[in-house]
A and B are shown apart, each in its own frame.
Chain A
C-alpha cells in the first residue's frame, strides 16, 4: 500500500469513489440484502482499505463477515430485520421518506415531496413510480445526487460543472442533510443489527463528506 503517500488530487476517481459509496448505501436501503452480493462486496480488494477510513463501513464489514459461515439463518434474520424496519406491515420505526421528517403533517406526499420532485424535473427526470410512491425516499434522493455526480464526471465544460456542483450542494443542504441526521438517529435506536447501525453511521458520514467535498471540488475548478 505504498501508493497511499503518492495519492494525488485525482478528480475522476474521486467522483467515482463518491459514486461507489452512494451506490453502496442505496443498495443497503433499497431491498433486503442478498448474501452473495454482500460477500462479493467484502471480497473486493478495495473493501478493506475502505473500512479503514469509515466507521460505518467497519460496522457493516463486521456484520457481513458474520455471514461467511451461515446455514441461511443469519441472512434470513437480516432480511426480516429489513422488512421490520422498512417494509411493514407493522409501524415503521425509522421511515425512509423526507416528508415524514420535514412535512408539516409528518406524512408521505407532503409539500416537500413536491419540492423534491421539482429538483428532479429540472434535470428532466421523473421517478418511475411517481404519484404511486413518494419521490423523496432516501434511495431516490441519493440516486439523484449520484446522477448529478455522474453528469459532473461526464462534463467537459467548467461552467456547467460549476452549476452541477452548485445543484448538488443545494440539494444536499436543502434536503438530505436536513432530515437524514434524524433518520439515522432513529434507525440506530430502532435496530440491534450491526448492518443497519453501520448503514446509519455510513449515511451520515457520507453526507458530511459530500458537504465537505463539493465546495472543495468547485474551488479546484
Chain B
C-alpha cells in the first residue's frame, strides 16, 4: 500500500493538528537553506527608542500653484497625518492658502502600495509595460553606457531632456539637473515653449513689449467689475489667487465668468456666467469693441496718448489705409460690421448680452478683464490673448489700480535663483511641438515650424531623459501617433525615466527609476507669481524602498561620463540649497541663510504697496516708454503685419480657427471638445489615486440637447472619437456645458484596450499636434469630435 492510500484512508488531506501530528511523527524535519531563515529581516536591537510625534512644516514641489505650507505629523519615521495651516498663521501681506483636497491626501501618494520601489529594466517590447528589477549599480551603469554610446555615435544634438514638470514647484528639479549634466558634457537639443502658457507669453509682448502684464492681486480691491475670461482658479489653483477672489466676492464686487463651461469658479464666485463657443473669443471681443466705440465709451484721451493702431489717425508709417481697429470694426475693408448680431452667430452669446457686457465693462471704471490660460491653449490662442489686451487698452484699464492690462498676466516679483545650467554647446533649439518630428524626420523641423538659432537639425533625437514627467505619452497631443514613434526601438535608442509610479509615459522607459517624493528630499518650494514667499521643503522621512533623488543618481552618471566634479561642484542637496540661498541673497539681501530658513521655514518677500503693471509708462510716459518698437501700446503691431501670415493678424481680429467652431470638418465631427484641470489632480499627478478618483470621476460632460440627439442618458457608456483616436467613457449629461461643446477633465491616465481604444479618459488621444502660427506652440484645447452611445 502506498503512503498516499494510508493517508487518504485516514481522511487527512488538509493541514490540521491531527494531520500534522502524523507528519511530525514520521521522522526528522527537513531543514531549509542552512537555517538562515530563522532570522532574516528582524534583528535584535538593544537601543530602541520610542520617538514622540513631531510636526514638520514643509511644502510640496508639485506643479501646483497653491504652494501651501503643509504640516507633516511624523511618528517613528512615519508620516501619520497631514494638516493645513491654521487661520492665525495667515499673513495678509503674503497670503498662502490652506492645503486642498490633494494636499490633505499627500500620504496617499507617498505610501501608495503601487509606488515604484526598485530600479527596473525593460524586458518586453518598449511600451508593453514589462520590467524586471535590477540593482542601482546596473541601472546607473546602463545609463552611462548608453549615454556614452549614443553621444559617440550620433553627437550631442541627439540627446534630449523632455519636459518634466511634476516637480517644477521646487527650485531643484530633475529635468533641469539633467540639462545641466548634458550641457556640461557636450550639449543637448533644447526645446522652448511652455505648454501651459507659451502662446500668450509669445503674443502679449506684441501689444505691450512684455508679458509681465499682471498687477499684484491686492490691487483688485479697487475694481468695480471683474471678468474672469476662461479663468478657473477654483479648480486650477492658480497661485494664491483664490484667497483674493474670496475677499472680492465678500466685498460685493461683481464677477462675471466667461467660459463654455460653468466651472467651479463660476459656481463659487460669479454673479453671471456667459458661455461662448471655444475659440470664438475674438468674435465676442470684437463685438464688444464695436459697441464700445459706437457708443463712444472708449477712453479717447488714453488712446491718443498711449496707443498705436486704434484708428486711422494713429497708425504706424508705411501701412495702407483701413488697417486700424476702428476700420476693421466698422467693416471698412471687408464690408462686415462687427456687430453683436454678427458675433452672436459665431460665438453663440446673444447680441443683447454682448451689448450689455460691453457697456458694463467700459463704464465700470476701473474694470479687470483677467484672462486664464485655457483659451490661449487654442489654435487661435495668440489672437485671443491679444484680444484681451485690445479691450483693456481701448477702455484705459492699463496702468491703474483695479484695472488689468490683460494678456499673459505675469507679475515679476522676487524669486530664488536656480541651480545653473551652463551654456549649451548645441545652439539649435526646437519648439516642444517639434520633438516627435525631431525623432522621425529632423528635416521637417524648419525655422518656419519652430526651429530656432539654426537652419537645420544635425541629428535625430536618439536619447531621451524623461524625469518627473508624463509628457512623453499622456500629456502629449496625439498619443496614438506618438506611441508608434516611441515603440520603434530603432528610432529613439534609449529612454530613461524616473517617477513615482508606472505612468503611461514611464511605460516607455528602457530604464525606469524610482524617484523620491518631496517628503524624502531637500528642496525649496517656490510660490507662483502671485505669491511672494519661499518655503523650505525638508526631507521628513527615509526614502521609500530603494527610491533615490534624481540628484543622487545623476551625480553618479556625471561621474561615469567624466563630468562628476563639474556637475556636483562637491555639493550635496543641502549644499545646493545653501548655494541657492546665498546667490539669491546677492540680489535680495533679506534672503535667509539655511540655518535661519530651517528655523523660520517660510520667508516672505515684502514690498511697499501693490504692483501695478505699466504704472510708470502711464504716469511718466516720457521717461518710461513701452518696450515696443513704437514705445506705445500696439493694438496694431507692425511686426505682426510684416509677417504677412493669414493666421497672424496685426490687430486681434476674429479668424475662424482650424478644427474650431466654423471648420467644415464639423460635418463629420460636430462637437468641440475642451478639457479642464480638476481639483483632484495636479496635471496628471494623482490620477491613479483611488480616493481622489472618487472626488471627481472621469466623465464626459455633454449638454442635454446634444445628448438627446444621440440618445445618451446620464451614466451611459459613450464613445468619443475623431480621426486621431477613440475614448470610451461615461457620459454626464449637464447644462453646465453649453450645447455644441463636450468637456472632460485633463490628466486622466491613458489606458488602451487591446484595440487601442482608450478606457482611461485621456483627452490627448483626440488632440492634435498642429502648431499655433506665432508661438509654434500647442493647441491642446482645439479639437472636433463626435460622441456616440455604445
Q: Is the CB of A53 within 8 A of B22?
A: yes
**Are A8 and B25 in contact, with the CB atoms below 8 A?**
yes
What count of chain B residues pass the 8 Å CB interface test?
70
Contacts of A55 in B (CB 8 A): 13-15
Whether A192 is near chain B, meaning CB under 8 Å from some CB there, is no
Assess A107 versus B33: contact at CB under 8 Å? Given A49-B26, A52-B12. no
B544 contacts chain A at the CB level, 8 A cutoff = yes
Q: Which residues of A contact B107 (CB under 8 A)?
A: 105, 107
- Measured between beta carbons, the chain B residues less than 8 angstroms from A106 are 113, 690
What is the CA–CA distance of A95 and B130 in the complex, to the nearest angstrom?
A: 19
Categorize the interface residue count of chain A.
35 or more
Q: Contact string, B108-144, partner A, CB cutoff 8 A, digits 1/0? A: 1011111011101000000001111100000000000
Q: Which residues of B contact A37 (CB under 8 A)?
A: 33
Bound together, the chains give a CA A87 to CA B107 distance in angstroms of 21
C-alpha spacing A120/B22, complex, angstroms: 32
Taking the complex as formed, is A190 at the interface, i.e. its CB lies under 8 A from any CB of chain B? no
Q: Which of B26, B30, B75 is within 8 Å of A114, CB to CB?
A: B75
Which residues of A have CB within 8 Å of B117? 87-88
Judge if B6 is at the interface, Cβ distance under 8 Å: yes
Among residues of B, the one whose C-beta sits closest to the C-beta of A84 is B130
Say yes or no: B21 contacts A9, CB within 8 Å. Answer: yes
B347 at the interface (CB under 8 A from A): no
CB–CB A132/B543 < 8 A: yes
Q: Which of B25, B41, B131 contacts A128 (CB 8 A)?
A: B41
A100 lies within 8 A of chain B by Cβ:
yes
B45, A46: Cβ atoms under 8 Å? no
Q: Which residue of A lies closest to B7 (CB)?
A: A52
Q: Which of A47, A117, A133, A206 has a CB less than 8 Å from the CB of B15?
A: A206
B502 touches A88 (CB 8 A): yes
Which residues between 1 and 57 of chain B lie within 8 Å of chain A, taking CB atoms? 3-4, 6-8, 12-17, 19-30, 32-33, 37-46, 48
Partner of B14, one of A19, A53, A97, A109: A53
Q: Scan B49-88; emit 1 where CB is below 8 A from any A CB, else 0.
A: 0000000000000000000000000011111100000000
Chain A residues near B75 (CB-CB < 8 A) = 114
**Given contact pairs A7-B22, A55-B14, A126-B43, A114 touches B78 in the complex (Cβ within 8 A):** yes
What residue in chain B is nearest A213 (Cβ atoms)?
A: B17
Residues 1-42 of chain A, each 1 if its beta carbon lies under 8 Å from chain B, else 0: 101101111100110111111011011001000000100010
Return the CB mask of B500-539 against A: 1 if under 8 Å, else 0: 0110001000001000000000000000000000000000
B25 close to A7 (CB less than 8 A): yes
Interface string of A67-105 (1 = CB under 8 A from B): 000000000000010010001111110010100100001
A185 at the interface (CB under 8 A from B): no
A48 to chain B, nearest CB (A): 6
Task: Say yes or no for A147: interface residue by CB 8 A criterion.
Answer: yes
**A111 lies within 8 A of chain B by Cβ:** yes
Q: Does B542 contact A (CB under 8 A)?
A: yes
Scan A125-161; emit 1 where CB is below 8 A from any B CB, else 0.
Answer: 1111111110000011001101100100000000000
Q: List, in ascending order, chain B residues with CB within 8 A of A10's CB.
A: 24-25
Q: Is the CB of B29 within 8 A of A17?
A: yes
A147/B38 in contact, CB under 8 A: yes
Q: If A88-B117, A114-B76 touch, does A132 touch B27 (CB 8 Å cutoff)?
A: no
Considering the complex, give the chain A residue whose CB is closest to the CB of B41.
A140
B612-627: CB near A (< 8 Å → 1, else 0) gives 0000000000000000
A54 within 8 A of B: yes
**With A and B bound together, what is the CA distance between A107 and B113 in angstroms?**
6
Check A47 against B30 for contact (C-beta < 8 Å): yes
The answer to whether A127 and B7 touch (CB under 8 A), given A9-B21, A114-B76, is: no
Asked if residues A108 and B25 are in contact (CB atoms below 8 Å), the reply is no
Judged by a CB distance under 8 angstroms, whether B691 is at the interface is yes
Q: Given A110-B111, A120-B42, are A3 and B13 also a contact pair (CB < 8 Å)?
A: no
> Could you give, for residues 144-184 of chain A, a 1 whenever the CB lies within 8 Å of some chain B CB and a 0 otherwise?
10110010000000000000000000000000000000000
B114 touches A13 (CB 8 A): no
Is A44 in contact with B30, judged by CB distance below 8 angstroms? yes
Which residue of chain A has the shortest Cβ distance to B46 in the bound complex? Answer: A124
- Residues of B contacting A17 in the complex (Cβ-Cβ under 8 angstroms): 20, 23-24, 29
CA–CA, A147 to B132, complex, Å?
32
Query: Contacts A10-B25, A125-B43 known; A146 to B38 CB distance under 8 Å?
Result: yes
- Measured CA separation A153–B42 after assembly (Å): 18
Q: In the complex, A6→B76 CA distance in Å?
A: 52
Let me know if B655 is at the binding interface, CB within 8 A: no
Contact between A209 and B16, CB atoms less than 8 A apart:
yes
Are A107 and B30 touching (Cβ within 8 A)?
A: no
Q: How far is the CA of A20 from the CA of B6 in the complex (A)?
A: 23
25 residue pairs bridging A and B, Cβ less than 8 Å apart: A4-B6, A8-B25, A9-B21, A17-B29, A18-B20, A19-B38, A53-B15, A53-B19, A53-B22, A53-B23, A54-B13, A83-B131, A83-B133, A88-B502, A89-B506, A91-B114, A107-B108, A114-B80, A125-B43, A125-B45, A131-B77, A139-B41, A140-B42, A208-B15, A212-B16
Chain B residues at the A interface, C-beta cutoff of 8 Å: 3-4, 6-8, 12-17, 19-30, 32-33, 37-46, 48, 75-80, 107-108, 110-114, 116-118, 120, 129-133, 501-502, 506, 512, 541-545, 688, 690-691
Task: Give A contacts to B, CB under 8 Å.
Answer: 1, 3-4, 6-10, 13-14, 16-21, 23-24, 26-27, 30, 37, 41, 44-50, 52-57, 80, 83, 87-92, 95, 97, 100, 105-111, 113-114, 117, 120-121, 124-133, 139-140, 143-144, 146-147, 150, 202, 205-206, 208-209, 212-213, 216
